[in-house]
Amino acid sequence: MKTKPTAIKLDDIGHILVDHFKHRENINCYIGSNAATPTASIEALTDAIKEESAKLPFMKMFHILLHGNIPYLEEGLQDRVKAYSIFSGEAVRKAANEGRAYYLPCTLGTMDRLIGKGCAYEMDVVIMKVRQNEMTGEYSLGLSVDAIHSALETAGVVIAELDPTMPFTQGQSVIAGEDIDYIIEAGVQPVYTFNPPDFENLSPEEKRIGELIAGHFLKDGMTLQVGIGKIPDAVVGVIGSAGFKDLGVQTELYSDGLMFLQEKGIITNKMKKINTGYSTTSLIMGSKKLYDYVHMRSQVQMRPSVYTNSAEKVRDCAPFLSVNTAIGVDLSGNVWADFVNPTTYYSGVGGQPDFVRALSHKKYGTPIIAMKSLAGNGKSKIVPAHPSGITLTASAYDGVVVVTEYGIADLRDLPTGFKGLALAGISHPRYREALMKTIYNDPMMTKPKGFSLDKIPPGVILYDGKTAI
């Protein structure tokens, strides 16, 4: 039985795929993603694709967030290769908006329905990064497990970059040598690192949002999921100085902020009913300090996204607090995060819908959509109606809590008109009057008995702290 992968060079990738798939017209390739993007292999494979004499099949490239150079997105290559992105960064976003890449809408927790065995896009090839444990000979997927296990299930060719800059993480990131066909050591580029959050210099708006969430929803022993970005960082920063204890983590993404809380002993995972004693995540992304922290650390363990984002597993960790952000919310309570408008794709739905729907009942916890009241262009993020034709990450029938720097709008259990009033009540003052008038003039937005524009709407808790903006 084969137990060791065959060593190859980057330049061999194209030849290997031609040899394995010479009778195929097209093949599906899963690319390891996020901080563990295998950039060197992506570049080598693109060079092979450009060599028309190589006679590679048409390549369909499946991935979530990729970092670094992605040359197969270049104009003129789409008759030989096409990206199918489930979550995108700047380069793929640009290509998708120009018609040179596909956006494949799917939550992180349900990716196996697309690329799993017997599904529409069974994988033929997997290209990823690994780190080896020199004592045991095992390999670790390190920073990105996501849906790789589903891809490995059907892949006929598995190529791995052996990267010593990647941490050896524990849990379901550990695979055996026989799971890898070919391994590359020379010319591998290091994993991607990012600056840690600056908790000392949060904006007043971010600090207010953090205070509102920590002050009204967080309790000792709760389990956390926090997304990436300045708003989730602000929540973590406030938690770090608020005296909470014995918090747990079940998240799709483990970042510097969660490490900060775990280092301080605020996150202990003692109270979790499953995976007691360790944080569970499918992705890790952040600073070198973070990567050093998770290396060989059993208190942080990797699981596939289908596990970390599973409604059953999230509910098993109740009471649960989920914090994500959005591009916008409309007065009916619809939320969107992957499109700016119908012709401008931005990123992807990520895992937001997974956690929103897992926490649909209050007994399990609270799904929070946290965002500043204004977009970068100064326009309100709370608008009368969502742009027609875009994807929604939470619908009006999903029970979410929206938090801005002006307060909390708990939309759970509210009828339509009440939802609108609550959201208008925490909008930016510059737009609040116009939003209130929209509700007032719309007969379908049924108002509460005794409605008055000068009353605090049902479901609203206004900010009453000391942080000025």
Q: Out of 206, 211, 252, 405, pick the active-site residue.
A: 252
The tokens 């649909």 sit on which residue? 360
In a 3-state reduction of DSSP, which class is residue 13?
helix
Active site residue 252: yes
With contact defined as beta carbons under 8 Å apart, do 135 and 272 qualify?
A: no
Alpha carbon distance 146, 148 (integer Å): 6
Q: Extract long-range pairs of 373-378: CB within 8 Å, 24+ residues apart.
A: 373/205, 373/404, 373/405, 373/406, 373/426, 373/427, 373/428, 373/431, 374/428, 374/430, 375/327, 375/328
Helix then strand count (H, E) for the chain reads 14, 27
Joined tokens for residue 453: 């524009």
| Residue of 1, 303, 36, 32 lying closest to 158 (CA atoms) | 32
Q: What is the DSSP string of 25-48?
A: SEEEEEE--GGG--HHHHHHHHHH
Residue 348 identity (one-letter amino acid): G
Three-state SS sequence of 150-185 = HHHCCCCEEEEEECCCCCCCEECCEECHHHCCEEEC
Catalytic residue numbers, as ranges: 252
